[in-house]
Amino acid sequence: DPSVYIHLAEDQSLVSALESTFSPVNAQAHQQPQEMQYIPFIMVYDDSHKKQIRRDTLKAVMMKVYFTSSKARSEACEILYDVAEMMEFLAEDAKQILSSPTSSEKQQAEVFENLLFDGCDVSISMVDEYAPNAYGIFISDRLFWEAFVMPHDMNEYTGDFIGFGRGVGSRRQSNPDAMVQNLVHFQSSDRHPLSSMPCILQVDNESPMSPATLVLAIEKSGVGIRPADRNEW
């Protein structure tokens, strides 16, 4: 049921139903009803498009990412802390190189884009409002992008993971315009009522940093989280 939420209630059957629906292991055999059109969040797979989005689209806005187990969130946070530290280092390194009279034009060109990280909020806040059914984090879009998107070789993610591939063994087409539209939901909060805000849901507990199994979701305040339906947005 596309309207099902991960509720505040302790009914674990809701979580089990969600996991069975979205499990990458079962995705090839799972046939979604025609009306269920879930939205993969990551829509760019070419490195040039990933860099384009990082440079031109991200606006240092905050977003929530939810996992369906505390273990998955903990594993993700370990990586996120390392990435946050790296971003701070790269920003400081870039400033030093760009201000040094002895650095070459080549050196300056290589580090210039790292200034995007200067002053970026790399904090990671825990969101436990919906535990034990969902475990969230509150992070900036830049930290999200560096951790969940930039390091990953998208050629590894083939097949129809959650109903949007072009068949088993195929690769999704990189679509920067669609990626921008997904990000706009977080950048323009006035597009949504305050009681129903966009978030991201990781549906793979075994690979919590997998970009291929992140879906656009809706958080309804005081109720819970559910995957967004393409027909809604």
Q: Give the residue extent of every domain in the chain.
A: 6-81+121-227
Contact 10, 131 (CB under 8 A): no
Q: What is the pLDDT of residues 211-225, one digit of tens each?
A: 989 999 999 877 888
If phi > 0 it is left, if psi is from -120 to 50 it is alpha, else beta; for residue 60 that is left
Please say whether the beta carbons of 135 and 67 come within 8 A. Answer: yes
pTM, entire model: 0.79
Instruction: Please tell me the predicted confidence (pLDDT) of residue 155.
Output: 66
- Residue 107: the pLDDT is 93
* Per-residue confidence (pLDDT) for residue 125, from 0 to 100: 97
Question: How high is the pLDDT of residue 1?
Answer: 42
pLDDT at 193: 55
Count of C-beta atoms within a 10 Å radius of residue 112: 12
In the predicted model, residues of the chain with pLDDT beneath 50 are 1-36, 159-170
Q: What is the pLDDT of residue 93?
A: 94
pLDDT score for 224: 87
List pLDDT tens digits, range 19-49: 444 333 333 333 444 444 678 999 998 999 9
Residue with tokens 């849901």: 201
- The beta strands (E) that lie in the chain are given as 6-7, 62-67, 125-127, 135-140, 196-202, 214-220, 224-227
Closest listed residue to residue 137, CA positions, set 61, 214, 73: 73
Distance of alpha carbon 211 from alpha carbon 44, whole angstroms: 10
Q: Which residues of 95-104 are buried (b: 16+ CB within 10 A; e: fewer)?
A: eebeeeeeee
